[in-house]
């Protein structure tokens, strides 16, 4: 089994040449990468948040309902 080759751009990268990186260069690269990110609009973020909250509530109600059903069934079985 052979070791996979890195693409030339990664192989020649200064990141692989040194174990530690200059902190200033590291922060600069982070800022460059964050500038490339397509951030969601405020409206998109709100919509996604509402979806997460809604699904969380629905799952909570579902699990709570199952818990209630199983608790009632177990109470009926143990009272006999």
Span 17-66, pLDDT tens digits: 566 778 899 999 999 999 999 999 999 999 999 999 999 999 999 999 99
Confidence (pTM): 0.57
| Selection from 68, 50, 70, 69 nearest residue 58 by Cα | 50
Which residues 6+ apart lie within 8 Å of 16 measured at CB? 6, 10
- Structure tokens, 29: 């690269």
- What is the pLDDT, as a whole number, of residue 65? 98
Determine the Cα–Cα distance for residues 35 and 23; give it in Å rounded to an integer: 18
């Amino acid at each position: 089994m052979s070791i996979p080759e890195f693409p030339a751009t990664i192989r020649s990268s200064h990141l692989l040449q040194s174990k530690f990186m200059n902190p200033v260069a590291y922060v600069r690269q982070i800022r460059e990468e964050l500038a490339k990110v397509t951030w969601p609009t405020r409206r998109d973020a709100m919509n996604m948040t509402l979806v997460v909250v809604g699904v969380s509530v629905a799952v909570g109600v579902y699990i709570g309902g199952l818990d209630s059903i199983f608790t009632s069934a177990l109470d009926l079985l143990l009272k006999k």
